Copies of this chain bind each other. A is one copy, B any other.
Amino acid sequence: MTQRVSVVENILNANDRLAEENRVRIESAGVFSINIMASPGAGKTSLIEQTLPRLKDKLRVATIDGDIATSIDADRAAAAGAQAAIQINTGGDCHLDAVMLHGALNQLDLTQFDLLIVENVGNLVCPASFKLGTHKSVLIASIPEGDDKPYKYPGMYRGVDALVINKIDLLPYVNFRMDYFERGVQVLNPEVTTFPLSCRTGEGLDAWVDWIIQNAKKA
């Protein structure tokens, strides 16, 4: 067990060092960057699809999409208007790490962009342990996932800067106690900025898009 733990620690330390390199590289290019994390199917790609048209003529956007397999997500991001869309296939790994982001950044001329959106692998556990070097971490919760997720996946809720609560159009059809959910979030992460919205109906998207634009201006 000790050997295993020490190997894992070495991997995480090496990851943090490379994440710091990524951060410096992204920042020197004046790019604002976010790392979007969520369970499978919570709406990461849908959020990107709804966000990009609203940023048209305002920000030049590159996306980097992580998945076990397929290029479905990068294809959707490109179709939605990303100026560049790179797919990372992890081949089995359940999260992106700083090495994978580093490799993807090598394929981009960052000076051509204002915003970099990284879409992580769908997973509510492991991505929280691997810094990438992005400015802000964004978690998407999804109404049909249920209201107990902050309690059961505290590591993910604790470390993020913004929380998107997607699929609010499904609230009438499922049992989701918003006050119970929000109490869980409050304990873990009282400072988090929250955006309830629906990628299907468009409700609530303006506040989210404004948050991105304001942050990109500062970068």
Chain A positions within 8 Å of B, measured between CB atoms, are 3-4, 7, 11, 39-41, 67-70, 72-73, 92, 94, 121-126, 142, 144-146, 148-149, 151-155, 167, 169-170, 173-175, 200
Report B-chain residues with C-beta under 8 Å of the C-beta of A123. 94, 123-125
Cβ–Cβ < 8 Å partners of A94 in chain B? 94, 123, 125-126
Complex CA distance for A163 and B67, rounded to whole angstroms: 22
Give Cα distance in the complex from A124 to B149, angstroms: 16
- CB-contact partner of A173 in B73, B122, B173, B175, under 8 A: B173
In the bound complex, what is the Cα–Cα distance between A92 and B154 (angstroms)?
Answer: 9
Contact B11 A67, beta carbon cutoff 8 Å? no
* A–B Cβ pairs within 8 angstroms, 28 of them: A39-B122, A39-B145, A40-B145, A40-B152, A40-B153, A41-B142, A41-B149, A67-B152, A68-B153, A68-B154, A69-B152, A70-B148, A72-B148, A72-B152, A73-B152, A92-B125, A94-B94, A94-B126, A121-B125, A122-B124, A122-B152, A122-B153, A123-B123, A123-B124, A123-B125, A170-B170, A170-B174, A174-B200
Asked if A11 and B4 make an inter-chain contact with CB atoms under 8 angstroms apart, the answer reads: yes
Question: Contacts A41-B145, A173-B169, A200-B174: A155 and B68 contacting too (C-beta < 8 A)?
Answer: yes
User: Nearest CB to that of A184 among chain B residues?
Assistant: B70
Within the complex, what minimum Cβ distance (angstroms) separates A143 from chain B?
A: 8
Complex Cα distance, B67 from A149, in Å, reads 11
A40 contacts across to B, CB distance below 8 A: 39, 124, 145, 149, 152-153
Contacts of A39 in B (CB 8 A): 39-41, 122, 145
Q: Is A170's CB under 8 angstroms from B153's CB?
A: no
Contacts of A68 in B (CB 8 A): 125, 152-155
Q: Which residues of B contact A200 (CB under 8 A)?
A: 174-175
Contact B144 A41, beta carbon cutoff 8 Å: yes
State in angstroms the CA–CA spacing of A7 and B7 once bound together: 9
